[in-house]
Amino acid sequence: MSNFIPGITIQGWALILTPLAMALITTLLSAVITMEYESSYYRVVLRHNIRKRKAKTKKYPGVIFLEIDGLSEVILKEALEKGHMPTLKRWLESKTHQIMSWETDLSSQTGASQAGILHGNNFNLPAFRWVEKVNNNKIMVSSGLSDAPLIEKRISNGKGLLSLNGASISNLFSGDAGNIIFTYSKLKNLHNFYNKTFYYFYSNPSNFARIVILYFFDVIMDFGSQLTHWLKNKNPRIHRGFAYPFIRAGANIFLREITTYILIGDILASDIDIAYSTYLGYDEIAHHSGIRDFDAFYALRGVDQQFKRLENALEYTERPYYLVVQSDHGQSNGATFKQRYKMSLEDLVRSLIPEELSIYSKLSSNEDHFGQLITNPIDDTKSYFKDKKDTAIEKSRKLMYNTLENIEKRDIVKGKVLEYIQDYKISQKSSKKTTEEAEVIVLASGNLGLVYLTSWKERLTYEQIKIIFPDLIPGLVQQEGIGFIMVHSQKWGPLVLGKEGVNYLEHDEIEGKNPLEDFGENATQHLLRTDKFDYVPDILVNSFYDPETEEVAAFEELVGSHGGLGGGQSRPFIMYPSEWNIDKEIVGAESLHKVLKKKLIEISKTKAKIN
């Protein structure tokens, strides 16, 4: 600047603050006078660099899948009606695209959904986190740096959705893509990351400064949101902590912007045939603010702007592209289990088993969203149960004995169960901290709870649990916040137990009131499938669902949650090109994979004809 204005020099911190200030002014001016931020960027920088590389433009269509993590069909339609997503609304009104919902599996979360969508296989993934008894009670985590590669190795056959010249960007699994970046299952393989698109990002010096400005603006937005929620006494709400706004901005701004720049680079380079990317901001914010909060819709407005940027980029390439927008699951709202009943799921389980037993619990499962809020068990659980436990247990015992009369009358293999009891040595140390040593492990994935009785390597049957832990099943079933539990009977197979009835899944028989009445017509199908998993818990627990308020009670400390059955969490969407003519009902992520793979095969035939 001193070359143009004598007497003015820039040094020290000004070398950093000046470009940031310039980026802030540019960003604000762009918003005020509706300048297209990327226009000159596309024409002058990117297009020039691609010509310099003398890239040969492909004539057959490419496909870009844009996933909005955690957005249900219901909330999408609300966002469209309220004007939060004008780009998608214009696509619908111009009839270039149409929307249909699809249904997730029982485990309505990113791990199971992306495994099914990208690899066509999510078998043996009962939740975001689960226990493998045969592997020294190892807890597998879908987003673990060591676990995610192992999970992908189990589910992949090398022919995933992105196996044919595809790119995986900001996903949990790779879909067998050859080009990967910010994908959990491949984070250890940094040498495999494709870096050419970073050149496009750094080609414009203001890009980095722009992201920094947007990042800190988002941080301020969340502090303001927390203050607003506190002043208005909005409920339900959770304590987010000082670090959370910075974590949120990482998902909602940093990864969002980087993902878009990478996709723009791929579009203009025109060499990737299929790309799948995930936008995480809405899911992260809805977890902590609520699925209909101002902050959540703010995140959707930002995502919609990214889609407009990608649409604009298509004008600068001769290659046609299909843009497909979809979600991997939705979210359901509601005060948490602990907020409602002053106890965690661990506290409830602990009150129903011998005090000497050690419990290991993990009641958060959102590491795939860069952060989690951990709430320690409260101290007044035992006093809470002191007055209510005996009454609840006695009531539930009578009900269970009546509704399961056939089971109770059966002469179960008591001899074998007694052997288990003799071999079972109750630990005198209740403070064990490792999963290998714990006798009981309690996990949570949204409003889905998993109880593993880990002193036995095999899954205990209903009959065995009733003898060894007589209070556990009745106590869980009769707790107000529990919708149903699933256990496996030696005689009857999988049983779903509710407060007023039993569903014999394999026999299609119901005694009393159907516990699955409010959980969808495919609930039986989902539970039967999960019951066949190798790593299904001894007791699977699902919170209640109120169809009138559409609320669930998450076992995690999250306002918006997903992971089990009940409400919008099981009803994501796909917004696809109208010419694709997808008219079948899609139940399960593996089914969606088949539909998408079929369309990609049809497009590949177009490629063959052109060549």
553-581: per-residue pLDDT in tens? 999 999 999 999 999 999 999 999 999 98
Q: Do 326 and 573 touch, CB atoms closer than 8 A? A: yes
Dump pLDDT digits (tens) for 156-210.
Answer: 999 999 999 999 999 999 999 999 999 999 987 766 665 555 555 666 667 777 8
pLDDT tier, 363 (very low <50, low <70, confident <90, very high otherwise): confident
- The DSSP string of 74-100 is HHHHHHHHTTS-HHHHHHHHTTSEEEE
Compute CA distances 302 → 99, 298, 306, whole Å.
20, 6, 7
Look at residue 454 and give its three-state secondary structure: coil
* Average pLDDT of the segment spanning 69-74: 98
Q: 10 Å Cβ neighbour count for 606?
A: 13
d(CA 301, CA 332): 20
d(CA 255, CA 206): 17
- State what percent of residues in the chain have pLDDT above 90: 66
Residues of 355-388 as b/e, b for ≥16 C-beta within 10 angstroms? eebbbbbbbbbbbbbbbbbeeebeeebeebbeee
Q: In terms of pLDDT, which residue wins out, 507 or 399?
A: 507
Check residue 608 and give its pLDDT.
Answer: 56
Check residue 196 and give its pLDDT.
Answer: 53
**CATH of segment(s) 14-121+156-334+568-610:** 3.40.720
Greatest Cα-to-Cα distance within the chain, rounded to the nearest angstrom: 98
Check residue 58 and give its pLDDT.
Answer: 80
> Any bridge partners for residue 574, and if so which?
100, 326
d(CA 357, CA 239): 31
d(CA 74, CA 572): 8
What backbone torsions phi and psi does residue 516 show, to the nearest 5 degrees? -100, 10
Dump pLDDT digits (tens) for 127-144.
Answer: 999 999 999 999 999 998
Dump pLDDT digits (tens) for 215-231.
Answer: 999 999 999 999 999 99
pLDDT tier, 606 (very low <50, low <70, confident <90, very high otherwise): confident
d(CA 172, CA 368): 7
Please give the radius of gyration of the chain, using alpha carbons only, rounded to the nearest integer. Answer: 26
Of 48-62, 256-270, 532-546, the poorest mean pLDDT is in 48-62
Positive or negative torsion for Cα 594, 600, 601, 603: positive
**Spans of all domains in the chain:** 14-121+156-334+568-610, 337-558
- State what percent of residues in the chain have pLDDT above 70: 76
- Does residue 551 have a pLDDT over 50? yes
- The DSSP string of 486-536 is EEEETTTEEEEE-SSEEEEGGGTEEEES-TTTTS-TTHHHHHHHHHTSTT-
Dump pLDDT digits (tens) for 322-353.
Answer: 999 999 999 999 999 999 999 999 999 999 99
- Amino acid identity at 515: P
- Does residue 39 have a pLDDT over 70? no
Q: What is the mean pLDDT of the chain?
A: 83
Residues of 128-148 as b/e, b for ≥16 C-beta within 10 angstroms? bbbbebeeebebbbbbbeebb
Check residue 547 and give its pLDDT.
Answer: 96
- Does residue 534 have a pLDDT over 80? yes
Check residue 383 and give its pLDDT.
Answer: 35
Cβ burial, residue 426 (10 Å; 0-12/13-18/19+): exposed
Q: Do 481 and 342 touch, CB atoms closer than 8 A? A: no
d(CA 47, CA 45): 6
Check residue 268 and give its pLDDT.
Answer: 86
DSSP code for 550: T
Check residue 382 and give its pLDDT.
Answer: 36
Q: Do 312 and 343 touch, CB atoms closer than 8 A? A: no
Check residue 422 and give its pLDDT.
Answer: 42
Check residue 390 and give its pLDDT.
Answer: 44
> Any bridge partners for residue 546, and if so which?
551
